[in-house]
Amino acid sequence: MLFNRKRLNLVDGERQAMRNACKFNASLLDLVRENLRPGLTTDEIDQLIASRTAEAGHKSASLGYCGQQSSPFPKSCCTSVNDVICHGVPGPYALKDGDIINVDLTTIVNGWHGDSSETFIVGTPSDLARRVVQCAHDALWAAIDTCRPNSRLSEIGEAIVRIAKRSGFTVVEEYVGHGVGRQYHQPPTVPHYPTAEARRQKLEPGICFTIEPMLNTGTKETLLSKRDGWTVRTQDGGLSAQFEHTVMVTETGVEVLTLSKTGPQRGHKF
């Protein structure tokens, strides 16, 4: 099947609006990078992001978001430390030397959503932590490189699984990438492993979506917190790392919309 062009495929002015939203969104990860240190709490990270977003006159899409949960998300970003896969709620936890932390944020700029995340290394990591962070970053870029007009959506998942297996890591299947634009979450669903439905779908110019592979050092199985209803951990307590970019398929290839100025680029070595 092909995507509904009228509903999902962006024209020139809309494409520029998405570029603007994603550029600001990416700048917030650079802000985190500037301030990251042992002793910084995850709530202080959230406050940095909330303040800069408000100063610019924009909004956080995460704050107050409900999704399928019964209670709204209470913060402006997700902070997922060590064994937390995704949707970690910022709080009093103070970062320690050797921690890895994924900061995931979505910003609304003039009605358009920019969405990205990065796993940061705090101080000196263990070899295992460094390797899973590197693998998640490499998997993201391998997936991006599959995107082009008329490519199969399933090629994204095939590339991610191939990179993960090579390093002995697993790919989380319960949480996926997604279309993004005027809505926070919209078609297409972007699985990080190949599926029959993804094999039937082709990418068309103007489609925007996130790719956000989550790689675990142990089992791919997840555990949702009963306490806050949001935090998702690895079932076995192993480490998890994730990187995310918003991309747009063009007439000639793919454009990565959420590249930051000081963040890790293609080919970066941790």
Say whether pLDDT at 258 is over 70.
Answer: yes
164-172: average pLDDT: 98
Model pTM score: 0.96
Residue 4's pLDDT band (cuts 50, 70, 90) = very low
| DSSP category for residue 28 | H
Say whether pLDDT at 139 is over 90.
Answer: yes
Say whether pLDDT at 3 is over 80.
Answer: no
Cβ-based burial of 227 (10 A; exposed 0-12, middle 13-18, buried ≥19):
exposed
Instruction: State the first-to-last Cα distance of the chain, in angstroms, to the nearest integer.
Output: 39
CA pair distance 135, 131, nearest whole angstrom: 6
Cβ-based burial of 87 (10 A; exposed 0-12, middle 13-18, buried ≥19):
buried
Domains contained in the chain, CATH given: 5-256 (3.90.230.10)
Say whether pLDDT at 6 is over 90.
Answer: no
Type of residue numbered 10:
L
pLDDT of residue 7: 52
Of the listed ranges 1-10, 187-196, 243-252, the least confidently predicted one is 1-10
- Mind listing the pLDDT tens digit for each residue in 41-50? 999 999 999 9
Say whether pLDDT at 5 is over 70.
Answer: no
